[in-house]
Amino acid sequence: MSSRRNPFEELERLFDRMGRQFEEASRSWETDYPFDWWSSDFESMAIDLVEHDDEFVVTVDLPGFERDDVDIEVTNHTLRIEAEREEATEEVEEERYLRHERSHEATHRSIRLPDEVDADNVTATMNNGVLTIALPRVESEESRKIDIE
């Protein structure tokens, strides 16, 4: 009796090996300096956008950031949020860092708003790393019928 080889075994091993190598490479992309741009802003700044009758409410998770670390800007139909913090640490000579990653963190996100907002009356609050932004809608003008001459 002859034993038959599965023709797809070698292909499966190849795909497994490629998957492991891609996972290892993607982990280094997220932490190594030349590939910082590769990691997604979506991972670092989770956003909820809720529509109410008279306003939009944006809720943003910014754990570890303080109120003074965050800048909010509203222009046209775009909400832009930037958060940046630098942790001041005293270098102690007798300590040897094996890994030192907590020195600087920055993130940003732009959201296209579905309707025009009153930029002068936007309010924002921050509590325990959760930023809440209320964006009042602009009263839209009533449409009127235009007669063709």
In tens, the pLDDT along 87-115 reads 765 555 667 776 666 667 888 898 888 88
Instruction: Identify each DSSP E strand in 19-69 by its residue range.
Output: 47-51, 55-61
Give the Cα separation of 82 and 86 in Å (integer): 14
> pTM of whole model > 0.85?
no
Cα 146 from chain centre: 45
The more confidently predicted of residues 41 and 130 is 130
Q: Closest by alpha carbon to 111, among 131, 140, 86?
A: 131
